[in-house]
Amino acid sequence: MTVQVTGIVLAGGKSTRMNFNKALLPCGPVTMLEKIVDELRKSCTQVIIVAGKNEYDFRDCLVIPDIYPDGGPLGGIYAGLRASRTEYNFCMACDMPRFKGELVKILALRAPGYQVVVPQVRGCYEPLLALYHQSCLSVIEEVLKAGQRKITAIYPYLKVNAVTHEEIAEKLGESEYFLNINTPEDWESYRGSSF
């Protein structure tokens, strides 16, 4: 990997649709959050969990609260970047059980010269599975202060490198690394396939 990367997991959501904290859903013997942190450790120098008001007890991880209450995932990215010591940071949701740490290395190779490196799956950005440079902070702050919560609202102001799913799959193999779980139905379907 050409650049050092901090892994930032956003785990401060309300999990309203699941009606149970998604980070704590069991994936085999561990929770979904533990599974993700283990994968991030394969590629990242440090892992930060932005917990919002939730409480997590993780050794070897920095667990921090949000800075913007009700800032949503964009606010979580902001808090994570503020706490990080590396220029590039891989920010992701806590509800993506098929995530592979190798993805961070694939995106990091494409980072030099860009502020955001984001997978594009079937033409759509995956903004909660992307690299963000520290220099995004001022734009994120402006967008949050303007009351916007959509992560992609920051993209028009930044140098964004979109990496297609096909390019990623060439290196990672065909996997649903971008799958995210929101509802009990999503969870049942995921469990019905495999961990």
Ligand X SMILES: Nc1nc2c(ncn2[C@@H]2O[C@H](COP(=O)(O)OP(=O)(O)OP(=O)(O)O)[C@@H](O)[C@H]2O)c(=O)[nH]1
Q: Report 101-140 residues binding ligand X (CB under 6 A).
A: 128
- Of 71-79, 103-111, 113-121, 187-195, the window that binds ligand X (rule: CB under 6 A) is 71-79
Bridge-based pairing of strands 62-64 and 129-133 is unpaired
When asked if residue 97 is in the footprint of ligand X (CB under 6 A), the reply is no
Ranges within 152-181 binding ligand X (CB under 6 A): none
Rule CB under 6 A: say whether 94 interacts with ligand X: yes
Nearer to ligand X, 63 or 169 (CB): 63
Closest CA to 2 of 113, 159, 118: 113
Q: Assess 71 for contact with ligand X (CB under 6 A).
A: yes
Contacts with 156 (C-beta within 8 Å, 6 or more apart), sequence order: none
Residues that bind ligand X (CB under 6 A): 10-17, 22, 50, 52, 66, 71-73, 75-76, 93-95, 128, 182
